Amino acid sequence: MDFKQWQCVDAGSEYCPCYLAEENDCITCTQLQGKSYCDCNWRGVCIYNDFYFLENKRKDTRTAQEFPILDGKVVNDIIILSIQVTKYMARVLKQPGSYVFVRDKNNDYFFDVPISIMDSDEEKSLIKIAIEVRGVKTKKLMGYGDTIMIRGPYWNGIFGLDYLKTTKNDRCLVLARGIAQAPAILAIKQLLKNNNNVDIIVNKRAHEYNFINEYFNLDSIQEVDMGSNDVAILCRRLMEENNYKLIFIGGSDSLQRKIIKNIEELNQVKFVTTNNNAICCGEGICGACAKMNEDGIWIKTCKVQRVD
């Protein structure tokens, strides 16, 4: 079992060292895992050194802040909000995979719900989010007022961030179904910024709101019923024709498995997927997001990226 293949997205940030360091459960630092030696693969400022000079205490954690809602609308069961935040918050939430916890200001903290950032405008200090109303927490946001509570920033809403950021001048395919179109927007912007040629497939259902067409005026956008097996067949054909170097899949775990299983043997294609695990605290404490990998290692999926 090699823990070095897992990297904490918070490592080296202003939120590191965190609660896990205090509990000898740091994802990166072996000495802050209770071991007597240094054997990490971290190339930034030494986490143990930071912890030592903080007198064996974590740095200040993220706290919820109240921000004004500038614009909002409800389309079917989707709430779309434009929120005025600080310039710093807008800047750090421009990264693909960024998300925040949101709740109504009149509710307690256990109503916090993780929501992906759909777009961020640093110049205007604005972020845009889309919330699918499904359960108790999201229903409480239907009657949103003039402000909303936000806790963040968090960055692990997408797996394969390193692939996404380093793929340049290549051919890429993006699939986005339902509310997973929201995190797909920042991913597509990153791919286009890196001069990639991007083909996009969105789900073809009349009741689903199409975010992608609002943001991108591309001829390469097509609609397919992703609920059927046709989408896997189509992806295989497109892969054979275009030799994609990266495929982004925004959708359920079953959709991801269906696509990957059908085309993974064709080429050395890199897969980037939305993180669909249950995220409750975002700090690696509660264990709601923990998944066991093929080596029997429990992974805190709210904080960890695999590094090949």
* Rounded-to-integer distance, Cα 273 and Cα 19, Å: 27
**For strand 290-292 and strand 298-300, is the pairing parallel, antiparallel, or unpaired?**
antiparallel
217-248, pLDDT tens digit by residue? 777 788 888 888 889 999 999 999 999 999 99
Please report the pLDDT score of residue 295 as a whole number.
Answer: 79
- Indicate the CATH number for domain 158-274: 3.40.50.80
Q: Could you tell me the CA-to-CA distances from 146 to 38, 82, 285, 286 in Å, in that order?
A: 50, 11, 32, 31
Please report the pLDDT score of residue 127 as a whole number.
Answer: 98
Q: Where are the domains of the chain?
A: 1-61+283-308, 65-154, 158-274
User: Taking Cα atoms as reference points, which of 140, 133, 144 lies closest to residue 70?
Assistant: 144
How many CB atoms sit inside 10 A of residue 53's CB?
10
Q: Which residues of the chain have pLDDT under 50?
A: 1
Coil, strand or helix at 59 = coil
Coil, strand or helix at 303 = coil
Coil, strand or helix at 69 = strand
* Rounded-to-integer distance, Cα 260 and Cα 4, Å: 25
Q: Could you tell me the CA-to-CA distances from 58 to 47, 48, 61, 204 in Å, in that order?
A: 10, 11, 8, 47
Please report the pLDDT score of residue 209 as a whole number.
Answer: 75
- Indicate the CATH number for domain 65-154: 2.40.30.10
Residue written as token pair 């079917």: 76
Q: Give the predicted TM-score (pTM) of the model.
A: 0.93
Please report the pLDDT score of residue 1 as a whole number.
Answer: 38
Please report the pLDDT score of residue 78 as a whole number.
Answer: 92
> Would 65-154 and 158-274 be classified into the same CATH topology?
no
16-34, pLDDT tens digit by residue? 999 999 999 999 999 999 9
Query: Would you say the C-alpha torsion 108, 110, 111, 115 has a positive or negative sign?
Result: positive
